[in-house]
Amino acid sequence: MASTIQRKALVHETFGLCVLLPKTHWRRAPEPGGRAKVVLNGTEVELTVRSEECDCRGTGVHEHRFLALPGGVARPGDMVTVEL
């Protein structure tokens, strides 16, 4: 069964246009570096999962995962719908 999330597109300094993948959805996507076919705003596309280590809360290093978006599908700040 597919899972749908709505996220705001953002620009990451390392891998460009992307959406943050909530930890609750990690099991639906491949490990970082892997590719996944998803439905993005109603169109099937293949995205790459990216990750970074972070200490944004100051409580220790943890991981953030992102879905790197292909060019032309959204602009930074646009809401996108992703079905995993």
Positive or negative torsion for Cα 53, 73, 25, 39: negative
Determine the Cα–Cα distance for residues 78 and 81; give it in Å rounded to an integer. Answer: 10
Q: ∠ at Cα 25 (22, 60), nearest 5°?
A: 45
CB atoms within 10 A of CB 24: 9
Q: Where are the beta strands (DSSP E) in 10-77?
A: 10-12, 16-21, 35-40, 43-54, 62-68
pTM: 0.90
> Would you write out the chain's pLDDT as a tens digit for each of its 84 residues?
678 999 999 999 999 999 999 999 999 999 999 999 999 999 999 999 999 999 988 999 999 999 999 888 899 999 999 999
